[in-house]
Amino acid sequence: MALGKAKELVSPIRCSSSGDGSEIQSVLTEWTGQQTLPNVFVGGNHIATCWDLHKEGRLVPLLTEAGIVAKFQELEIS
């Protein structure tokens, strides 16, 4: 049950398994200037690559500020 609700919070797109994956990656490169994946978008805004955020220690604080961590914690409780 919690997993189904969690999918509403996060929308991953797998370029490798999508029929239009190369087109999606081209558009992402155009939008972000980066060819590496995964990229993190919050509220429709490109933030950085997931690896950069994690390495810099900014991923969890960013997700916490966006309310995503709290929503996941709520799902674990219910």
List the chain pLDDT tens, one digit each, 78 residues: 344 555 555 666 777 766 777 888 888 889 888 877 788 887 778 888 888 888 888 888 888 888 877 776 676 655
Residue 2 pLDDT = 45
Q: Which of 7, 1, 2, 12 is nearest to 74 (CA)?
A: 2
Fold of the domain spanning 2-77: Glutaredoxin (3.40.30)
Question: For residues 21, 23, 27 and 28, what is the CA-based torsion angle, rounded to 10 degrees?
Answer: 20
